[in-house]
Amino acid sequence: MSLVRVRVIPRARSEGITEEGEELVVRVREPPEGGRANRRVVELIARHYGVPKSKVEIVRGHRSREKLVKVED
């Protein structure tokens, strides 16, 4: 299991993940409404680490752009 600091950029033109130091920057097209951006963040992080979505959980920052995400191996 690892905890990852994530900064989310919603409503981005293109989606993707970049690493900046010890933090992941996740760009998603979804707006931050109704949890849509959070769901997309979980999908992209799961794909990035090669794990199922069920192994990725937002621990802190559900309503913030700065998040702490748990990824289980």
CATH number, residue 54: 3.30.1200.10
**What one-letter code names the amino acid at 10?**
P
pLDDT at 68: 99
Tens of pLDDT, residue by residue, the chain (73 residues): 999 999 999 999 999 999 999 999 999 999 999 999 999 999 999 999 999 999 999 999 999 999 999 999 8
CA-based diameter of the chain, in Å?
Answer: 31
Number of domains in the chain: 1
pLDDT at 38: 98
pLDDT at 36: 97
Domain span at residue 64 reads 2-71
Q: What is the pLDDT of residues 47-61, one digit of tens each?
A: 999 999 999 999 999
Report yes or no: 45 and 71 within 8 Å, Cβ to Cβ: yes
